[in-house]
Amino acid sequence: MKDPNGSKDILIEFVLRGGIYVIIYMIGNMILSALIYGMMHVYDHRTERLMELTFGEFKETLFRFLGKCFRIILFYGAMTILVGGLAGMLATWSVWALVVYLIFVLIGALIIMLPMALLTPMYLFEEQPFFETLQRAFRYGMSFWIEIFGVLFVFGLIGGIINTVTYLPWYLVVVVSQVFILTSPDSGIDQSLWYQLLTYVLGIIQSYGSYIAQMVGMVGIAFEYFHIREKREGVTVETEISNFANL
């Protein structure tokens, strides 16, 4: 007979680990967004661009962008809680109502996900209130939905290739080690210092590749934002910013 308390403990541990992973991921994404967009902002507004830029000069922009990224995360978190709470209420009422609701949520998410991609660069680069920026991001995003989809698809493909290249070595090492463990349980390869060191180093490379892949997407959507703003408002960004990726 299975111990119900044991199953409960496993579930709690799974939820806690998943929650910690999500929190760490959001913090990393927030710092990365503030860093990348902050450097682009400084590059566009500073006479010397990024040459001889010190942390003392950059930290004001970085912390300001971190604060804005935190507000964006709070907004997405509130929306997630609202959608999840409503789903929970419907689940207690009717399964069919829940199914219909989830279908509409999925369709709505697919529609608004691309316009909402403009929210982060638009809110960080402009000095406008949050909800006013949210409305403009949605309005501009719906007008250029197909164009945004194309940009995200191309840059997502590039990022996926980078992520795969940096992920494969770690994955292959783990798979090979598991094969050795299954065929020779007494080999002790998983306890080897060299194996642990190799998986540690490859894990760092994998994480680095993951962040590089995210950076590619962030830069891509930022340039799409500049492009859309130029079309809609006639606001141009200096052409030198196109050389940002070469620095």
Q: Residue 232: what pLDDT?
A: 81
Q: Residue 225: what pLDDT?
A: 93
Mind listing the pLDDT tens digit for each residue in 151-185?
999 999 999 999 999 999 988 888 887 777 777 76
The per-residue pLDDT of the chain, averaged, comes to 84
pLDDT band for 244, please (50, 70, 90 cuts): very low
Mind listing the pLDDT tens digit for each residue in 120-143?
999 999 989 999 999 999 999 999
Spacing of C-alpha 233 from chain mean position:
28
What totals of helices (H) and strands (E) does the chain contain, helices first?
7, 0
Spacing of C-alpha 203 from chain mean position:
19
Q: Residue 29: what pLDDT?
A: 87
**What is the mean pLDDT of the segment spanning 30-59?**
90
Contact indicator for 140, 115 with CB cutoff of 8 Å = yes
Beta-carbon-side half-sphere exposure of residue 165 (alpha carbons within 13 Å)? 11
Neighbour count for residue 208 (Cβ, 10 Å): 12
Q: Residue 6: what pLDDT?
A: 55
Mind listing the pLDDT tens digit for each residue in 85-100?
888 888 888 888 888 8
| pLDDT: which is higher, 148 or 21 | 148
Neighbour count for residue 28 (Cβ, 10 Å): 14
Prediction pTM value = 0.79
Mind listing the pLDDT tens digit for each residue in 194-231?
878 888 888 889 888 888 999 999 999 999 999 998 88
Nearest alpha-carbon partner for 214 in 80, 69, 35: 35
